[in-house]
A and B are shown apart, each in its own frame.
Chain A
Amino acid sequence: MKKGAEILVESLIKEGVEYIFGLPGAVLCDVYDVLYDSPLKFIITRHEQAAAHAADGYARGSGKAGVCMVTSGPGATNIVTGLATAYMDSIPLVIITGQVPTSMIGDDAFQEADIAGITRTISKYNYLVKDVNDLARTIKEAFYIATTGRPGPVLIDLPKDVLSGKAKYEYPEEVHIRGYNPNVQGHLKQIEKIAERISESEKPVIYIGGGVILSGADQEVEKLAEAINAPVASTLMGLGGFPGDHELFLGMLGMHGTYWSNMAVNHADLIIAVGARFDDRVTGRIDKFAPNATVIHIDIDPATISKNVQVDLPVVGDAKEVLRELNVKVKEKIKKKPERASWFSEIKSWKEKHPLSYTRDKKSVKPQWVIEKICEMAGENAIITTDVGQHQMWVAQYYKFKKPRTLLTSGGLGTMGYGLPAAIGVKLAKPDCPVINITGDGSFQMNMQEIATAVAYKIPLIVVILNNNTYGMVRQYQSLFYNKRYYATDLDANPDFVALAQSFGAAGLRVENEKDFDPIFKQALAEKRPVIIDIKTDKDEKVFPMVPSGGSVKDIMVN
Chain B
Amino acid sequence: MKHVISVLVENKFGVLARVAGLFSARGFNIASLSVGETTDTTVSRMTIITSGDDQIIEQVIKQLRRIIDVIKVSDLTDESYVEREMVMIKVNADNKVRAELMQIVDIFRSKIIDVSPKGFIIEATGDSNKIDALLDLLKPFGIKEIARTGCAAMSRGSQKNHK
Interface residues of A (CB under 8 A from B): 116-117, 120-121, 124-125, 128, 145, 177-180, 301-303, 305-307
Docked complex Cα distance between A124 and B62 (Å): 15
Docked complex Cα distance between A179 and B59 (Å): 18
Q: Do A117 and B17 touch (CB < 8 A)?
A: yes
Chain B positions within 8 Å of A121 at CB level: 21, 25
Closest residue of chain B to A310, judged by CB?
A: B55
Contact partner of A301 among B13, B66, B67, B69, CB < 8 A? B66
Known: A303-B59, A306-B55, A306-B58. A116 touches B66 (CB 8 A): no
Chain B positions within 8 Å of A306 at CB level: 55, 58
Whether B131 sits at the interface, judged by CB under 8 Å, is: no
Known: A120-B14, A121-B21. A303 touches B63 (CB 8 A): yes
Q: Do A177 and B68 touch (CB < 8 A)?
A: yes
B25 CB → nearest A CB, Å: 5
Contact partner of A179 among B14, B58, B63, B69, CB < 8 A? B69
Known: A120-B14, A305-B62. 11 other contacts (CB 8 A): A117-B17, A120-B21, A121-B21, A125-B68, A179-B9, A179-B67, A179-B69, A179-B70, A302-B66, A303-B59, A303-B63
Q: Do B68 and A180 touch (CB < 8 A)?
A: yes
Whether B71 sits at the interface, judged by CB under 8 Å, is: yes
Chain A positions within 8 Å of B65 at CB level: 302-303
Q: Which of B55, B58, B68, B72 has the most CB of A within 10 A?
A: B68
B45 CB → nearest A CB, Å: 13
- B99-154 with Cβ < 8 A to chain A: none
Chain A positions within 8 Å of B72 at CB level: 179
Which 8 A-B pairs have CB atoms at the shortest separation, nearest pair first?
Answer: A303-B62, A179-B71, A125-B68, A178-B71, A303-B66, A179-B70, A180-B68, A121-B25
Q: How large is the interface on B (under 10, 10 to 19, 20 to 34, 35 or more residues)?
A: 20 to 34
- B56-89 with Cβ < 8 A to chain A: 58-59, 62-63, 65-72
Docked complex Cα distance between A51 and B67 (Å): 27
Q: Do B18 and A120 touch (CB < 8 A)?
A: yes
A457 CB → nearest B CB, Å: 35
Q: Do B62 and A302 touch (CB < 8 A)?
A: yes
Docked complex Cα distance between A177 and B70 (Å): 10
Closest residue of chain B to A178, judged by CB?
A: B71
Chain B positions within 8 Å of A179 at CB level: 9-10, 67-72
B30 CB → nearest A CB, Å: 16
Docked complex Cα distance between A302 and B62 (Å): 7
Chain A positions within 8 Å of B62 at CB level: 302-303, 305, 307
Q: Do B68 and A124 touch (CB < 8 A)?
A: yes
- B17-75 with Cβ < 8 A to chain A: 17-18, 21, 25, 55, 58-59, 62-63, 65-72
B58 CB → nearest A CB, Å: 7
Closest residue of chain B to A128, judged by CB?
A: B14
B60 CB → nearest A CB, Å: 10
Closest residue of chain B to A141, judged by CB?
A: B68
A534 CB → nearest B CB, Å: 41
Chain A positions within 8 Å of B10 at CB level: 178-179
Chain A positions within 8 Å of B67 at CB level: 179
Q: Do A120 and B55 touch (CB < 8 A)?
A: no
Chain B positions within 8 Å of A301 at CB level: 66
A88 CB → nearest B CB, Å: 14
Docked complex Cα distance between A116 and B21 (Å): 13
B39 CB → nearest A CB, Å: 15
Q: List 25 A-B contacts (CB under 8 A).
A: A116-B14, A120-B17, A120-B18, A120-B21, A121-B21, A121-B25, A124-B68, A128-B13, A128-B14, A145-B68, A178-B10, A179-B9, A179-B67, A179-B69, A179-B70, A179-B71, A180-B68, A302-B66, A303-B59, A303-B62, A303-B63, A305-B62, A306-B55, A306-B58, A307-B59
Q: Which of B14, B21, B72 has the most CB of A within 10 A?
A: B14
Chain B positions within 8 Å of A302 at CB level: 62, 65-66
Closest residue of chain A to B22, judged by CB?
A: A121
B98 CB → nearest A CB, Å: 47
Closest residue of chain A to B58, judged by CB?
A: A306
Docked complex Cα distance between A180 and B68 (Å): 5
Chain A positions within 8 Å of B14 at CB level: 116, 120, 128
Chain A positions within 8 Å of B55 at CB level: 306
Chain A positions within 8 Å of B9 at CB level: 179
Docked complex Cα distance between A180 and B70 (Å): 8
Docked complex Cα distance between A236 and B75 (Å): 36
Docked complex Cα distance between A306 and B142 (Å): 49
B65 CB → nearest A CB, Å: 7
